[in-house]
Chains A and B, each alone.
Chain A
Amino acid sequence: MPDTPQPLTIAGGVYQERRHDSAHKHVSGEAVYVDDMPEPAGLLHVYLGLSAKAHARVLSMDLSKVRASPGVVAVFTAGDVPGENDVSPMGRHDEPLFASTLVEYAGQPLFAVAATTRDAARRAAGLAAVEYEDVPAVLDIATARQNPQLVFPPMTLKTGDAAAALAQAPRTVSGRLVMGGQEHFYLESHAALAIPAEDDEVLVHASTQHPTEVQHIVAHVLGVPDGAVAIEVRRMGGGFGGKETQANLFAACVALVAKKTGRAAKIRPDRDDDMIITGKRHDFEVDYTVGFDEEGRILAVDMVYAARCGYAADLSGPVTDRALFHADNGYYYPAARIESLPLKTNTVSNTAFRGFGGPQGMVGAERVVEEIAFALGKDPLEIRKRNLYGPGRDVTPYKQTVEDNILPELVAQLEEESRYWDRRAQVRAFNAANRWLRKGLALTPVKFGISFTATHYNQGSALVHVYTDGSIHLNHGGTEMGQGLHTKVAQVVAEEFQVDIDRVRITATTTAKVPNTSATAASSGTDLNGRAAQNAARTIKDRLIDFAAEHWGVPRDAVLFRAGRVHVGNHAMDFADLIKAAYMARVHLSSTGFYKTPHIHWNRGTGEGRPFFYFAYGAAVSEVTVDTLTGEYRLDRVDILHDVGRSLNPAIDRGQVEGGFVQGAGWLTMEELWWDKEGRLRTHAPSTYKIPACGDRPKTFNVRFFDAPNREDNLFRSKAVGEPPFMLGISVLHALSDAVASVADHKVCPRLDAPATPERVLAAIERLRGP
């Protein structure tokens, strides 16, 4: 049988630039989000009634006007919850679905109202008459530290004798750094649609990164077994960590309404309510003392990371832990004492956000390095390079040896390619010639640990079916929030079967197909689910090879899947033909797949272990111009060199790097959360909370990948990419600091806090200029 010419490779295998699987639907408006789904007949629309107070006892709650409002069908409060009135993700029972006797933040849900239209429900929700008795409210870190209440046991990392090393250090500097939180501002606000089913069953379509947790919480609130609840997610309009635990409340709320009324129920808070109700990135205060020698080598650090966690634990324990895991960024601390302080406050319970405390940890490290540079009159880049991990200086404060360190080469390459020193001279020359506008330049590195620090989360599952026409159905535990996870996992399956990716159908994530999944978080989505899907495909492929070898009488190694064809000895056939034959021979064409990350372990009690499978690295150089009369600034140029191992999909990875950088820069510059004295968030919409707009992206934006495979045996030697690029944005804060420092001839560390709004920049300029 003569072979017809075949393409040498498949379309959409690994390492290829491949468009997002839904791109054509995004651009045509055909991609369906929860609120776009056809509405079931009799659908009820749900809205939440919120606390007006940050901390108060609820003396009475009169909902008669709510009930009497036009279109209202039912109203539910804490007393209506059949299971437990709790949506806390870590089982700490500190987050009620509906507050009843005590409210602990302004915006906390008190009740839900279900009506025939969303407008009717929303209007009714505002009609409650609630009588409060104020209790003193703790609203910020400074107040909380006076009488600290913690939402989670703190952690301390210790290496060497930091106190002794600091006492003996030739030079020391101490200071405090304040950095703000961040609103996720996913473009699609939270949404959930519950459809009641028979017996105790319910199906919830939710916009969530963690369907399994939502399943558990819904079951727990309804008082039914997990198996009665199915959660389905086709896609989210952005997540960024804001839909990891924060979806619990909304899903539980509609599930409750659906089961109580027997009607489908949907909730979609208005943007302002979404921003008021849901948690954000933690703001931190970092107190630091660093001891160093005359060359700028760090000898010891003492750092306290105090975080505003809000009224409940949520994920604040792991978030503040991860801040400590990144308090070194890429720098070697011979002696260190680093402590977390997860403070309880009467504000919304803060939560996961891209980087998960890591960015805050690193901002602390970068300030420490900057202080040393100013103390010694050196360029901060010299001090950064001098302190990078290296041979013999490679153990982290949590006792993991950094085995895959590429930062020295990566930084050197970026320094060269971005012409750092030429531009340093140009920036100095510009500043010498300009009185009103000043330029700044900074290079900052990133070393980010990959794996959930809760070791048990490092598992992934997938389900692959091959149908008799050769089409492939792919399902896995990860969720799609825009990061291109489904595309990458489909590439992996296409690669394994050596078929074009168009044969691989991507399907909605559902707890009914793949159970016991981990959150799509910690940058782990591709590593865990891609490997699980690969294992599922390999199981099927093994069966097919067994079958073909026996059926055609060839050795197993004579059966090859290559470029859309299956070669069996001397002849080749289409994948679909093999599948048909295998089916006729009663070969099982469906398989689950499973993966758990190897080598990792962590003991929080002793503060020792190997929490991370590997590290992802990167570095960025940012150049800014600052208006010294107003504090306004522009991001002129950014050069990034980032490590994604061998990129599974350079187009998608580039998107993560560019988007992560801009989001990180936004956090540290214009994005400012502002609460009033009563503890009410006043920046609760895009009119008042400013994320970067198109014109805020760097005018020149050079992004390159560091050319090296993952040294660990990760999926196709790739590396995770979701979070690490976010922290490249730290270079912008330091470029601003550099520009500010120019007004005092670089003699004084500006100690520029974040977010470095024009207001903070101008204040720093005025401080440095003196009276």
Chain B
Amino acid sequence: MRVRDTLRFLLGDEPRELRDVDPSMTVLDWLRLEERRTGTKEGCNEGDCGACTVVVGRLDGDRLRYEAVNACIRFLPTLDGCQLLTVEHLKGPDGALHPVQQAMVDEHGSQCGFCTPGFVMSMLALYLNEERPAEDRIDDALAGNLCRCTGYAPIVRAAQRMYDLGDRARDRFALATEAVAERLRALRDEEVLCVGRDGRRFFAPATEGQFADLLLQHPDATIVSGATDVGLWVTKFQRVLPDIVWTGRVAELRRLHETDAALEIGAAVTYTDAADAIAALYPDFGELIRRIGAVQVRNAGTIGGNVANGSPIGDTPPALIAAGATVVLRLGIERRTLPLEDFFLAYGKQDRRPGEFVEKIVLPRPAPGALFRAYKVSKRFDQDISAVCGAFLVELDNGRVSRARLAFGGMAATPKRAAAAEAALVGQSWSEASVRRAMAALREDFTPLADWRAGADYRATVAANLLLKLFVETTEEEAATRLVGPGRLAHA
């Protein structure tokens, strides 16, 4: 295994080569403390407010992609082979404001100004990636940026106006894309990046073989993908992580592969990268992904991480379980496959041995005529954690339920199927009476907790009502049931 001991990336146009790097130093701390670039702000230090938003250019195949991410929970070594753009890069060489910035000024999009650099960077990513998006797309693009002053209206106006002020095709960043991509291609190699400080190391293997070997050698290492959760272990709990092994450079783990029977999702595929392929199979799962975190989180976080992490309130496990997904685990060269629901053993405990890792998730294609719905219920529609997440797959045979997979998050210590409710449905007619029996049976399946996200009664009531919603949406053609997302999903 060839090892490279230098972290290499571009800060704007400037190449950076760093050797002595704290493995869990965040991009934000590096910018503010070491570079004294203070334009990027710390609002929450947990990836929820977006004040620290930066844009990262990375190679996807040979193409350069610009993505907005939260600098506060992104570890610096994950910039290897990337370009980092911060708010300080936007003004032109002549000092003129970028169209994104000028639009914010013209539309009075800043008041206190503290969230503004983050908004500007989210808007830059939008500007570089999309031509004149519809308003709900703008909402999505800005969902990860909190503003307490403006009520957002002027910021949305600015996100529309920026397209009037600039010529995207001749944008400075757009014009430089090929040159930047060339420079990033030159940084590519097949070596294992290993940087560290004080005996703690960050490993970024380039191949799955290296990844598996490293984990055999360092079975206690923390596996990190998007760090949208692990980042908080560092920023909030001040945990000192020993060795870190990062999935992000491993091409095999970042791959989506379609077979006749299934969609195989490599463990390091981000929500953003997986969304379209998943939505093509299960439209409502796609809508659920749109509601996970916000752009910055979806650009970093991975489906594999959401699974491996084992959180009872992760949103993809219920949907994956309902769809009958399996997880492929690898230890060295040995692989095994588990139904996903069997992977979650208890709160905080998954069926993963030391040195073993989630290689991929296998999402089977739905049977023709299968009914699938996924619902996320939270205090806020965007960038919130579910009080209850319910995902349901029902197959009918001559009006009777032949198969029912009802999975919930937020209802137990792990993502879990509702066995009693499923039993109440299978073999029964697909009728409101059957569904009402399943709703009653849910009380046997779950004894939810009360916490700051919801009370126990609310969780229980809503979980049952979601079954009713599933029934209504699949039987009443005209019923309006959705408040957000494309309404057609209700009757997909």
Contact = CB atoms under 8 A, between A and B. Distances in A.
B111 A484 contact: yes
B87 A29 contact: yes
B193 to A, nearest CB: 24
Interface string B82-113: 00001110110000010011101110111111
A762 B149 CA distance: 30
A199 interface: no
Interface string B457-492: 110011001101100100000011101100000000
13 contacts: A29-B39, A187-B146, A187-B148, A235-B112, A237-B113, A655-B111, A655-B154, A658-B150, A672-B452, A682-B452, A685-B46, A686-B48, A694-B152
A187 B383 CA distance: 17
Contacts of B86: 29
Interface in A635-688: 651-652, 654-655, 658-663, 670, 672, 674, 682-683, 685-688
A23 B150 contact: no
Interface string B32-50: 1000111111111110110
B466 A630 contact: yes
Interface in A229-252: 235-240
A722 B307 CA distance: 46
Chain A contact patch, size range = 35 or more
Interface core residue of A435, A683, A692, A694 (most chain B CB under 10 Å): A694
A25 interface: yes
Interface stretch (A31-39, A139-147, A467-475): A31-39
A185 interface: yes
Contacts of A685: 44, 46, 48, 236
Interface stretch (B203-211, B249-257, B373-381): B373-381
A632 B451 CA distance: 18
A552 interface: no
A429 interface: no
A164 interface: no
A23 B105 CA distance: 6
Interface stretch (B137-145, B168-176, B178-186, B342-350): B137-145
B115 A655 contact: no
Contacts of B236: 270, 272, 685
Contact of A686 (B49, B112, B462): B49
B191 interface: no
A148 to B, nearest CB: 27
Nearest to A755: B379
B379 A672 contact: yes
A237 B479 contact: no
Interface string B111-124: 11111110010000
Given A27-B97, A33-B114, A661 B151 contact: yes
A687 B148 contact: no
Interface stretch (A48-56, A324-332, A695-703): A695-703
A627 B377 CA distance: 11
B213 interface: no
B406 interface: no
Given A22-B113, A187-B51, A686 B146 contact: yes
B147 interface: yes
A437 interface: yes
A625 B483 contact: yes
B28 to A, nearest CB: 12
Given A627-B483, A630-B462, A674-B452, A28 B101 contact: yes
Nearest to B51: A187
Interface of B: 32, 36-46, 48-49, 51, 86-88, 90-91, 97, 100-102, 104-106, 108-117, 120, 136, 138-140, 142-143, 145-156, 236, 238, 294, 375, 377-385, 387, 451-455, 457-458, 461-462, 465-466, 468-469, 472, 479-481, 483-484
A126 interface: yes
Contacts of A505: none
Interface string A486-517: 00000000000000000000000000000000
Given A33-B114, A236-B112, A436-B480, A271 B88 contact: no
B110 A26 contact: yes
Nearest to B479: A436
A20 B462 contact: no
A186 interface: yes
A693 B382 contact: yes
B114 A238 contact: yes
Contacts of B91: 28
A412 interface: no
Contacts of B44: 271, 685-687
A483 B116 CA distance: 14
A655 B108 contact: yes
Contacts of A696: 380-382
Nearest to B114: A237
Interface in A60-79: none
A19 interface: yes
Given A235-B112, A437-B481, A695-B139, A28 B45 contact: no
Nearest to A675: B452
Interface in A599-633: 625, 627, 629-633
Interface of A: 19-20, 22-33, 35-36, 38, 119, 122-123, 126, 184-189, 235-240, 270-272, 434-437, 481-484, 625, 627, 629-634, 651-652, 654-655, 658-663, 670, 672, 674, 682-683, 685-688, 690-697, 701, 757-759, 762-763, 766
Contacts of A655: 108, 111, 149-150, 154
Contacts of A632: 377, 381, 483
B114 A758 contact: no
Contact of A19 (B105, B115, B453, B469): B105
A187 B468 contact: no
Contacts of A30: 39
Contact of A481 (B37, B97, B112): B112
Nearest to A186: B148
Nearest to A657: B151
Contacts of A651: 108
Contacts of A683: 452
Contacts of A184: 148
A24 B104 CA distance: 9
A690 B380 contact: yes
A658 B153 CA distance: 7
A36 B153 contact: no
A187 B82 CA distance: 29
A526 B114 CA distance: 22
A19 B106 CA distance: 7
Nearest to B37: A29
A701 B155 CA distance: 13
Given A627-B483, A762-B458, A659 B149 contact: yes
Nearest to A240: B148
A187 B97 contact: no
Contacts of B97: 24, 27-28
Contact of B148 (A633, A663, A757): A663
A239 B113 CA distance: 12
A763 B88 contact: no
Given A22-B110, A28-B101, A658-B151, 18 more contacts: A20-B110, A25-B113, A26-B110, A26-B117, A27-B101, A31-B113, A32-B38, A33-B41, A35-B42, A36-B38, A187-B51, A271-B44, A629-B465, A670-B380, A685-B236, A693-B143, A758-B379, A759-B387
B114 A483 contact: no
Given A627-B483, A686-B49, A483 B111 contact: yes
A595 B95 CA distance: 41
A654 B150 CA distance: 9
A482 B385 contact: no
A33 B51 CA distance: 13
A123 B462 CA distance: 41
Contacts of B90: 27-28
Nearest to A673: B452
A117 to B, nearest CB: 8
A766 B457 CA distance: 12
A695 B381 contact: yes
